[in-house]
């Protein structure tokens, strides 16, 4: 996958829209432009049918039903609707605590702080081990009957660590605690089949799964629908949970993207990613510098993710030196540019210096072996130049 001369290894920041997805979306920008909430004419009915079909395809990813899918503008909004929605509705109740893993995306962490600072909830951080997996015995100890909700992501956006959501779900069974899962990074990494039984709320993002940007979804298990307060009010669309006209072409795109990731070919794609990623990691480790892999290995990791630590270098300098030929990331795209060490890498035990020396490479659907080989050469060349410059400076 190249954008002009640039090798793109940043699929966890955003994926390109699959051409098959784009072609399904196209008619809804043109002749089928009706408002899906217009109930008086056929143009509206057709649009509503398209949205319904898209919701069914998204739902199928986790074996849910179409009416359990609420379209949002992305996973950030889905996370906000899940947690703030729960917190606002339950204000004044006896469940006063949220348990949130230490490695969550900022859109979960920031909302959790609002729940604490503005709504008076107690916020407990769930610790993770050195591979980024939530400590289940800490969760068991903390999961008392004053806990309203637990939020643990399915797949980490920085380290690629896959959390054991089924185990967390069974640990919470019978407690009355709501389980929210940010699964924005999950569809490309794992088969989410039957997650409808494991979690009550699940967030997805279109542009992390070869769908368009600006669309996401929150799965709301039918029996907890009334536990959420909406974040925006208006025409009462989407079962009163998210007012506003839904964007039909984007919904159709997200549905098409979900359909491509729900079938058997998705597992073959994950296997292909794994082989390419392993080749990339091996190639990097063979370079004559101290380069190591942060986070989990093998099956507990997103098959396209390689978070590598370059001892003695900074990610910022390496990425600068490979511009404009290679796109990768210093961490979550949302924190890039802010010169503070990644909270995820800190939570898995890295020092500020080690975190600053770490780069996330993420391989995707259109990445080729040639891309991977060329990326290794580019990094090798950059490290040589940086090492030479360093020698000169210290001479």
Catalytic residue set: 334
Q: How far is the CB of 340 from ligand PMP (least distance, A)?
A: 17
**Out of 62, 75, 139, 273, which residue is the one contacting ligand PMP (CB under 6 A)?**
75
Give Cα separations from 203 to 23, 36, 228, 230 (angstroms): 25, 23, 14, 15
Binding segment (CB under 6 A) for ligand PMP, from list 68-76, 93-101, 354-362, 384-392: 68-76
Write down the least CB distance from residue 121 to ligand PMP, Å.
Answer: 21
Q: Are 155 and 193 in contact (CB under 8 A)?
A: no
SS3 content of the chain, % helix, strand, coil (to 5): 45, 15, 40
Among 36, 85, 212, 216, binds ligand PMP (CB under 6 A): 216
Out of 107, 309, 317, 358, the only residue in the binding site for ligand PMP (CB under 6 A) is 107
Give the H or E element holding residue 308: strand 305-310
Q: How far is the CB of 181 from ligand PMP (least distance, A)?
A: 10
Euclidean distance between CA atoms 31 and 377, whole angstroms: 48
Q: x/- contact string, 297-316, with ligand PMP (CB under 6 A)?
A: --------------------
Cβ pair 261, 220 in contact under 8 A: no
Binding ligand PMP (rule: CB under 6 A), the pick from 80, 101, 196, 205 is: 205
Q: Residue 102 or residue 334: which is nearer to ligand PMP going by CB?
A: 334
Rounded to 5 degrees, φ, ψ at 95 are -90, 110
Count CB atoms within 10 A of the CB of residue 172. 22
Q: How far is the CB of 76 from ligand PMP (least distance, A)?
A: 3
Q: Of the candidates 328, 310, 330, 325, which has an alpha carbon nearest to the alpha carbon of residue 383?
A: 310
Q: How far is CA 239 from CA 42, 56, 354, 390, in A?
A: 21, 15, 47, 60
User: Judged by CB under 6 A, how many residues of this single chain contact ligand PMP?
Assistant: 15
**Binding segment toward ligand PMP, per CB under 6 A, in 82-90, 126-134, 305-313, 328-336:** 328-336
Query: Is residue 211 a contact residue for ligand PMP (CB under 6 A)?
Result: no
Please state the closest distance from residue 204 (CB atom) to ligand PMP, in A.
Answer: 8
Query: Among 136, 231, 334, 374, which residue interacts with ligand PMP (rule: CB under 6 A)?
Result: 334
Please spell the DSSP secondary structure of 283-302, one letter per residue: HHHTSSS-EEE-S--GGGB-
CA-based nearest residue to 262, from 23, 57, 54: 57
Contact between 231 and ligand PMP (CB under 6 A)?
no
277 near ligand PMP, judged by CB under 6 A: no
Nearest CA to 112 among 80, 138, 90? Answer: 80
CB distance 178 to 82 below 8 Å: no
| 126 bridge partner residues | 101
User: CB under 6 A: which stretch of 23-31, 73-81, 126-134, 243-251 binds ligand PMP?
Assistant: 73-81
Task: Candidates 163, 182, 269, 371: give the one binding ligand PMP (CB under 6 A).
Answer: 182
The sign of the CA dihedral 137, 125, 315, 322 is: positive
Contacts of 71 (CB under 8 A, 6+ apart): 51, 54, 55, 215, 216, 217, 238, 242, 246, 247, 250, 251, 254
**Least distance in angstroms from the C-beta of 278 to ligand PMP:** 22
Among the residue ranges 72-80, 137-145, 192-200, 374-382, the one whose residues contact ligand PMP (CB under 6 A): 72-80
The residue nearest ligand PMP at its CB is 74
* Of 184, 189, 319, 321, the one binding ligand PMP by CB under 6 A: 184
Q: Candidates 45-53, 311-319, 326-334, 386-394: pick the segment binding ligand PMP (CB under 6 A).
A: 326-334
Site membership for ligand PMP, residue 54 (CB under 6 A): no
For the segment 131-160, give every residue that binds ligand PMP (CB under 6 A).
153, 157
The residue from 34, 36, 74, 85 that contacts ligand PMP (CB under 6 A) is: 74
- Which positions touch ligand PMP (CB under 6 A)? 74-76, 105, 107, 153, 157, 182, 184-185, 205, 216, 332-334
């Amino acid at each position: 996958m190249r954008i002009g001369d640039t090798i793109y290894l940043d699929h966890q920041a955003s994926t390109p829209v699959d051409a098959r997805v784009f072609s399904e979306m196209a008619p809804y920008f043109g002749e089928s432009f009706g408002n899906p909430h217009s109930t008086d004419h056929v143009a509206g009915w057709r649009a509503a049918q398209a949205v319904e079909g898209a919701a069914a395809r998204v739902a199928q990813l986790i074996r849910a039903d179409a009416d359990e899918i609420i379209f949002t503008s992305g996973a950030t909004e889905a996370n906000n609707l899940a947690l703030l929605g729960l917190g606002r509705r339950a204000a004044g109740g006896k469940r006063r605590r949220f348990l949130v893993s230490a490695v969550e995306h900022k859109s979960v962490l920031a909302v959790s702080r609002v729940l604490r600072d503005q709504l008076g909830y107690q916020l407990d951080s769930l610790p993770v081990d050195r591979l980024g997996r939530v400590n289940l015995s800490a969760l068991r100890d903390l999961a008392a009957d004053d806990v309203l909700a637990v939020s643990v992501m399915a797949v980490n956006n920085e380290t690629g660590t896959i959390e054991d959501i089924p185990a967390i779900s069974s640990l919470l069974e019978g407690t009355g605690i709501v389980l929210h899962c940010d699964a924005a990074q999950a569809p490309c990494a794992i088969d989410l089949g039957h997650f409808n039984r494991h979690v009550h709320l699940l967030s997805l993002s279109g542009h992390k799964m070869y769908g368009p940007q600006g669309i996401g979804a929150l799965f709301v298990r039918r029996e907890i629908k009334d536990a959420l307060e909406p974040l925006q009010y208006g025409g009462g669309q989407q079962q009163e949970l998210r007012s506003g006209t839904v964007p039909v072409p984007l919904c159709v795109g997200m549905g098409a993207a979900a359909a491509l990731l729900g079938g058997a070919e998705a597992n073959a794609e994950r296997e292909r990613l794994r082989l390419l990623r392993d080749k990339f990691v091996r190639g990097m480790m063979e370079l004559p510098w101290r380069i190591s892999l942060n986070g989990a290995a093998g099956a507990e990791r997103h098959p396209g993710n390689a978070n590598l630590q370059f001892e003695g270098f900074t990610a910022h300098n390496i990425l600068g030196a490979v511009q404009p030929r290679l796109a990768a990331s210093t961490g979550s795209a949302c924190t890039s540019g802010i010169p503070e060490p990644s909270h995820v890498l800190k939570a898995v035990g890295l020092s500020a210096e080690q975190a600053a020396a770490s780069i996330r490479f993420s391989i995707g659907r259109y990445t080729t072996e040639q891309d991977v080989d060329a990326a290794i050469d580019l990094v090798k060349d950059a490290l040589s130049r940086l090492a030479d410059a360093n020698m000169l400076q210290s001479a």
